[in-house]
Amino acid sequence: MATSIETKNAADLDAQCRQWQSRCAELTSERDRLRADLAKSQAEREAYLHAVYACLRKDYSAPTFTRDEVFAAIEHEPSLRDLIAELKREFGQET
């Protein structure tokens, strides 16, 4: 036989359980909404990136050096070591 205190405690527990179930449903709903928002934002970001890359590609023109021109220029250009030393001197980073 249940006492009035046990009945009250059971009713309180039942009410708390319903509150937690309601809160859990709210949080689950919010999580789903946030996931959908994130997916939408990621799709928009991808679209913007593709648009930016497309614009950049329009303005870009690849150099038109032939292999022979590149090898011919090597003889007249400074070595990589000389180029690095020149850059260091120019920007005040003496070695």
* Number of structural domains the chain divides into: 2
One domain for residues 56 and 74: no
CA distance 35 to 43: 12
Q: How many helices (H) and strands (E) does the chain have?
A: 3, 0
One domain for residues 68 and 40: no
CA distance 3 to 54: 76
Residue-wise pLDDT tens digits, 37-70: 999 999 999 999 999 988 888 777 777 888 888 7
pLDDT the model gives residue 42 = 96
Average pLDDT, the chain: 86
pLDDT grade for 15, boundaries at 50, 70 and 90 = very high
CA distance 62 to 71: 18
One domain for residues 24 and 35: yes
pTM of the model: 0.48
For 82, the domain range is: 62-95
One domain for residues 3 and 48: yes
One domain for residues 53 and 10: yes
One domain for residues 71 and 56: no
Residues 6+ away with beta carbon under 8 Å from 10:
2
Q: Which amino acid is at 12?
A: D
One domain for residues 8 and 33: yes
One domain for residues 8 and 41: yes
